[in-house]
Structure 1
Amino acid sequence: MPSDLIPRDGAVERSPAVRTLLRLWPYLRPVRARWFAAAVVAIVASLTSLVIPVVLKWMVDGPIADGDTAGVWLGALWVLLLGLAEAVLFGLRRWLVARPLSGVEARMREALYQRLQRLPIAFHDRWASGQLLSRATTDLMMVRMFLAFPLTFLLVNGVTILAGVVVMLAMDLTLGLLVLIPVVPVILVCTVFEKRFSEASRAAQDQVGDVTTLVEESVLGIRVIKGFGRHRSQARAFRELTHRLRGTELRKARLLGAIMTVIVTLPELAIGACLVLGSVRVADGTLSAGTLVAFLSTALALHWPIVSIGFLLAMSQEAATATARYFEVMDTEPESGSPAAPAPAAGRPGAGAAVKEGGLRLEGVRFRYPDAPADAPPVLDGVDLHVRPGESLALVGVTGSGKTTLTALVPRLHEITEGRITLDGVDITAMPREELRSRVAVAFEDPILFSATVGENVLMGAAGRDGAEDAGALERALGVAQAGFVHALPQGVDTQVGEQGLSLSGGQRQRLALARAVVGRPDFLVLDDPLSALDVHTEAAVEAALREVLADTTALIVAHRPSTVLLADRVALLSGGRIAAVGSHHELLRTNAEYAWLMSGAALEPEEARR
């Protein structure tokens, strides 16, 4: 998915870099003592380097001028000790920040992961997975690097430059003022650089997300790519994305090169002018040689802090962009435990109205996807449906009629637009999501398995449910789903199924997903065409075992085949966003032409069937 098509909350009006980076403070607060200690140590180390020119001044004007060999050795010893102290202090600074800042990165990554788990399905429908992965990896690495290096050294170098300028002005006012001439143009260049580099940095980091998305999709879809011989077109797409990224990175390099040229050249010219003027003054006796040596040594000691401004600003801009991208996700409202119920449909009871009958009930349910155009018709429009306690109801309809969407509303994977849904008389919006999802189990037509063992994948459906600790729950669920094939795997139920379960066939994955749905003995079962990938004989065996489960469970089953429909006690036909008919399979075959067409596959258009 191209980066310009990905929604980014707040991407139009971004906060300035400093304001954005200040949002990191809550994460830095727990380790602030060690970070401040590291900053103080770094400042002391940097100021130590400014003492060396003072020692050199004393050596040149004293022992060297007087021919005092012992004094020269003493001065050399002081220079050596000061250099060693600087090195030790900088090493101590790194030790102080390494562990705590790694912890900051880990906490931010954990918070991001937890937020992603709580964000609504609509968010994940809109965002490319590669964009989210790049925020959890590359962006957070940039944030950690900023906290460890640029954040500290922008402070350290600022203090060092200020102290160095004061020392040089104290040594000689004329030379001190001369060396300050480049300050104004350097500040102007840095201001322009900051804005342009921020734009390039945002583009580069978004493009990294695009590349990550393409790589992930290519790996997961490798069977399709190979099966259709599309490796060349995928390679071209990858090349185009990487060339775009390369172009943006080169733009960043050009900007950094330009500012580095200015930052290096102007101070060097000023130092050169000071050398010439200072030498003339030493020659005419108005300046001591030791003072000139100390002044130039101080100026050279400030060379690194000044030169580093360019890439410290670049790293800070990249970190600000990474922080903004991170908080684009963190600022998205998660699913709340019990949000206010949506407005009831006209003529329907309110959210607080009592419901006499139990089971699963949908009353005037209307649903429109959040990103749908305002003039687009709703997917579901006034759905009324009642699945009685212990009853199984099959939901049928043409492709695209909204069956899968309807099943996603029951566990609140999407929030209904109007109307309400109740379980045993309780509005689902009044339940904490944890309670709701502990009562409702789901199995999707396209089953997703995780990089875990067979047992772990199945028992994921038992979390938080009664009977979850039953030692026989796993075997019972595998039996219902006719998934005995797992015992023939190399390590049985302890076999790793691999990413997305691609080491298994489609039918095997679907049976494990069904086992996951029934393992916790849920009160309500929502199955989205759970047997579509099974052969006729396996389907018959699964149906026979599933009937026992359905006898004690209230179930809503999306069905496309008559064999699946026959599992249910009743059938509901979804047509035009509404429930068009409800009855037994045989009743609807006799009385509803559209249903008969769906079940028979006759050459009749759905529009004709509805008439």
Structure 2
Amino acid sequence: MPTTRATTQDRSAVRILLRLWPYVRPVRTRLFTAAFVAIVASCTGLVIPLVLKWMVDGPVAGRDPAGVWLGALYLLLLGIAEALLFGLRRWLVARPLSHVEAEMRAALYRRLQRLPVAFHDRWASGQLLSRATTDLMLLRMFLAFPLTFLLVNGVTIAVGVVIMLLQDWVLGLVVLGPAVPVLWTCVVFERRYAEAARRAQDQVGDLTTVVEESVLGIRIIKGFGRHRSQARAFRELSGTLRGTELHKARLLSVIWGVIVTLPEVAIGAALVLGAVRVADGDLSAGTLVAFLSTALALRWPVDSIGFLLAMSQEAATATERYFEVMDEEPEDPAATADGRAAARTGGGAGLRFEDVRFRYPDAPPGSPPLLDGIDLHIRPGESMALVGATGSGKTTLTALVPRLHEVTSGRITLDGVDITAMSREELRGKVAVAFEEPTLFSAGVGENVLMGAPDGAGEAELDRALAIAQAEFAHALPQGTATRVGEQGLTLSGGQRQRLALARAVVGRPEFLVLDDPLSALDVHTEAAVEAALRQVLADTTALIVAHRPSTVLLADRVALLSGGRIAAVGTHQELLRGNPEYAHLMSGEEAGEREDHR
């Protein structure tokens, strides 16, 4: 994946977290209400010390049992009210925050669907999965607890300090003494913890990638006996993550030690000084009890600062990682009408490549383009085979037609219309593709095939496509075409998966068909049957077929030889065999290989 691990020391956590506002705005009323309820609940707890002061200086000092019982009743009612208010806060935030998380996850999924193939080529799938799961869980937890209680505890501390100063300003200043070192520790902690949190969350993504690859590649791991090396790689990544988490724990323990110890020392000093003043008659016992009770009531708001800051930094990092994906430029959804009109002025019918150059976006600066000056015209209703040595760019060239990659320069037209002037939905409705490595989803066979058809296609279209691809085996599966094929379609053979992918390409009767070596996994007998049926389809469409076998080349009307990033020759199979040594060499190698395979 690309280097997306941005430095956090020069980033404002508040500014990053403010990017969540568009998702939070629809539920802001309930969140603000919940925060207000929590503030009221917290401040209710600060009334308890005042009741204690009244009890000590009044009924207790006056030996009034009725007054003591009345004070106890007040304390009980205040405790119940505080508990009910905090319960109400929890109820207020539960439903809206699950909605926020669901909306953010849906937005991320939609963006992933719209991002170009080049993005998915660069990013490890585990990094994307961790953003859609772990990071969003951290954000929900932040919105549910730290966001509210950073505000609530701040208000509680402020109100509590005012109450203590009003009780006795001398003791209040003693308790406030640690404020400066605590604040300085928080600033240093925030920067260092942000770096560690980012590193840990990226390492979770790396670990997720390893787990996913191990599950998907379990046949390779078992087949080559590589379980020990994979386990070793997992342990190394897991150990690295463990080290980062321990570093986070050490940072948290330091700030927690400072935040807990200094206020406790200050409270102890205030207790000693207050006791001396009570003994001297300068302070009432009730005032000292109320002061210390208020100070102790502020222990949780103060002690929780480190914990809340840690969760906030993790949430800021999760937000940053989430928006790294959301900020990626998606594929443009549609073209302008002016672009369409301009595109129709030239080109010609069929599929045409005009001076097309292509270089991958992340290619080193100054490197030669993979495709350079491609000029090729496939006439309407014609099928053309694309032949070239391994690594010559055949697959990349075919990926340019449905705009899985964008041309660096030049243009591609369909029936005289520049493909960049069409919306992708319109373009991909005209062009169907079948890749050399077929991808099937964890769905029924019929669902997989009908993905290539317009909405509303039914059994007739499905049966026709399965017949063309010689994939009637689907009807013999346990639940027929409703049988789920399993993740990646690995419950089927390679040839079966390739035939279903071919059926998916032809089911929608496309105007243009792009096939990337669609018969490579088929045995000779099945290949012959598929070719016979495929000829009928090719008679009614314009097709570009990447071919390696001479038998596949013979499906096409003409052949284009791709060499050195350019179209080196175009002609029929026989013409190129006679007149182009490079083509003859490629075909002779394939023919020899086929003879060996068939022995």
TM range (shorter): over 0.9
Residues in 2 aligned to 1:603 and 1:537: alpha-carbon distance in whole angstroms: 16
Q: 2:419 aligns with which of 423, 428, 449?
A: 428
Q: Tell me if the contact between 2:39 and 2:152 (Cα under 8 Å) persists in the aligned partners.
A: yes
* Amino acid in the other structure paired with 2:454: A
Q: Tell me if the contact between 2:193 and 2:310 (Cα under 8 Å) persists in the aligned partners.
A: yes
Q: Tell me if the contact between 1:337 and 1:431 (Cα under 8 Å) persists in the aligned partners.
A: no
Q: Deviations over 1:555-580 (max 9, x none)?
A: 00000001101111111111111111
Displacement of 1:587 in angstroms is 1.1
Q: Does 1:500 align with 2:488?
A: yes
Q: 1:73 aligns with which of 44, 69, 74?
A: 69
SS of 2:61 mapped into structure 1: helix
How many aligned residue pairs are there?
A: 590
Q: Which moved more, 1:8-17 or 1:473-482?
A: 8-17
Q: Tell me if the contact between 1:340 and 1:429 (Cα under 8 Å) persists in the aligned partners.
A: no
Q: Does 1:162 align with 2:137?
A: no
Displacement of 1:337 in angstroms is 2.3
Q: Tell me if the contact between 2:535 and 2:555 (Cα under 8 Å) persists in the aligned partners.
A: yes
Q: Tell me if the contact between 2:343 and 2:416 (Cα under 8 Å) persists in the aligned partners.
A: no
Q: Report the equivalent of 2:25.
A: 29
SS of 1:601 mapped into structure 2: helix
Displacement of 1:14 in angstroms is 5.7
Displacement of 1:550 in angstroms is 0.7
TM-score by length of 2: 0.96
Q: Does 1:478 align with 2:474?
A: no
Q: Report the equivalent of 1:347.
A: none
Q: Does 1:277 align with 2:273?
A: yes
Residues in 2 aligned to 1:229 and 1:47: alpha-carbon distance in whole angstroms: 64
Residues in 1 aligned to 2:366 and 2:58: alpha-carbon distance in whole angstroms: 88
Displacement of 1:353 in angstroms is 6.7
* Amino acid in the other structure paired with 1:184: V
Residues in 2 aligned to 1:235 and 1:257: alpha-carbon distance in whole angstroms: 32
SS of 1:205 mapped into structure 2: helix
Q: Report the equivalent of 2:571.
A: 583
SS of 1:472 mapped into structure 2: helix
Q: Deviations over 1:100-156 (max 9, x none)?
A: 011001100110111011111111111100000000000010011111100000000
Residues in 2 aligned to 1:257 and 1:307: alpha-carbon distance in whole angstroms: 12
Q: Report the equivalent of 1:524.
A: 512
Residues in 1 aligned to 2:577 and 2:465: alpha-carbon distance in whole angstroms: 33
Q: Tell me if the contact between 1:164 and 1:298 (Cα under 8 Å) persists in the aligned partners.
A: yes
Q: Report the equivalent of 1:459.
A: 450
Q: Which moved more, 1:586-595 or 1:254-263?
A: 586-595
Q: Tell me if the contact between 1:483 and 1:511 (Cα under 8 Å) persists in the aligned partners.
A: yes
Residues in 2 aligned to 1:585 and 1:231: alpha-carbon distance in whole angstroms: 47
Residues in 2 aligned to 1:77 and 1:390: alpha-carbon distance in whole angstroms: 91
Q: Report the equivalent of 1:536.
A: 524
Q: Tell me if the contact between 1:351 and 1:420 (Cα under 8 Å) persists in the aligned partners.
A: no
* Amino acid in the other structure paired with 1:434: E
Q: Deviations over 1:463-486 (max 9, x none)?
A: 36xxx5244001111111100111
Residues in 1 aligned to 2:559 and 2:280: alpha-carbon distance in whole angstroms: 108
Distance 1:459 1:14, change over 3 A: farther
Residues in 2 aligned to 1:438 and 1:11: alpha-carbon distance in whole angstroms: 43
Distance 1:487 1:406, change over 3 A: same
After TM superposition, list the pairs within 5 Å mapping 1:170-185 onto structure 2. 170-185=166-181
Q: Tell me if the contact between 2:347 and 2:417 (Cα under 8 Å) persists in the aligned partners.
A: no
Q: Deviations over 1:371-391 (max 9, x none)?
A: 001121111000011111111
Q: Report the equivalent of 1:514.
A: 502
Residues in 2 aligned to 1:572 and 1:323: alpha-carbon distance in whole angstroms: 49
Q: Does 1:564 align with 2:532?
A: no
After TM superposition, list the pairs within 5 Å mapping 1:329-344 onto structure 2. 329-338=325-334
Q: 2:402 aligns with which of 391, 406, 411?
A: 411
Residues in 1 aligned to 2:65 and 2:8: alpha-carbon distance in whole angstroms: 68
* Amino acid in the other structure paired with 2:92: L
Residues in 2 aligned to 1:271 and 1:263: alpha-carbon distance in whole angstroms: 13
Q: Report the equivalent of 1:98.
A: 94
Q: Deviations over 1:421-441 (max 9, x none)?
A: 000000000000110001100
Distance 1:321 1:79, change over 3 A: same
* Amino acid in the other structure paired with 2:197: S
Residues in 1 aligned to 2:114 and 2:76: alpha-carbon distance in whole angstroms: 58
SS of 2:452 mapped into structure 1: helix
Percent identity over the alignment is: 77
Residues in 2 aligned to 1:112 and 1:577: alpha-carbon distance in whole angstroms: 36
Displacement of 1:74 in angstroms is 0.5
Displacement of 1:12 in angstroms is 7.8
Q: Deviations over 1:64-95 (max 9, x none)?
A: 11111111011001100100000000000000
Q: 2:431 aligns with which of 440, 465, 475?
A: 440
Q: Deviations over 1:407-426 (max 9, x none)?
A: 00000000001110000000
Residues in 2 aligned to 1:116 and 1:230: alpha-carbon distance in whole angstroms: 32
TM-score by length of 1: 0.95
Q: Tell me if the contact between 2:347 and 2:413 (Cα under 8 Å) persists in the aligned partners.
A: no
Q: Tell me if the contact between 2:9 and 2:195 (Cα under 8 Å) persists in the aligned partners.
A: no
Q: 1:488 aligns with which of 454, 472, 476?
A: 476
After TM superposition, list the pairs within 5 Å mapping 1:188-337 onto structure 2. 188-337=184-333
SS of 2:3 mapped into structure 1: coil
Q: Tell me if the contact between 2:344 and 2:416 (Cα under 8 Å) persists in the aligned partners.
A: no
Displacement of 1:355 in angstroms is 2.8
Residues in 2 aligned to 1:217 and 1:277: alpha-carbon distance in whole angstroms: 65
Q: Tell me if the contact between 2:352 and 2:376 (Cα under 8 Å) persists in the aligned partners.
A: yes
Q: Deviations over 1:514-557 (max 9, x none)?
A: 01101111110000000000000000000111111111011000
Q: Tell me if the contact between 2:450 and 2:457 (Cα under 8 Å) persists in the aligned partners.
A: no
Q: Tell me if the contact between 2:142 and 2:311 (Cα under 8 Å) persists in the aligned partners.
A: yes
Q: Report the equivalent of 1:88.
A: 84
Q: Does 1:554 align with 2:538?
A: no
* Amino acid in the other structure paired with 1:134: S
Residues in 2 aligned to 1:12 and 1:159: alpha-carbon distance in whole angstroms: 28
Q: Report the equivalent of 1:128.
A: 124
Residues in 2 aligned to 1:143 and 1:574: alpha-carbon distance in whole angstroms: 50
SS of 1:396 mapped into structure 2: strand
* Amino acid in the other structure paired with 2:412: I
Displacement of 1:61 in angstroms is 0.5
Distance 1:451 1:356, change over 3 A: closer
Distance 1:394 1:278, change over 3 A: same
Q: Report the equivalent of 1:608.
A: none
Distance 1:488 1:414, change over 3 A: same
Structure 1 gap ranges (5+) = 344-349, 605-611
Q: Does 1:402 align with 2:390?
A: no
Q: Deviations over 1:312-343 (max 9, x none)?
A: 000000000000000001011000024699x9
SS of 1:532 mapped into structure 2: coil
Residues in 2 aligned to 1:67 and 1:104: alpha-carbon distance in whole angstroms: 56
Residues in 1 aligned to 2:205 and 2:412: alpha-carbon distance in whole angstroms: 38
Distance 1:318 1:233, change over 3 A: same
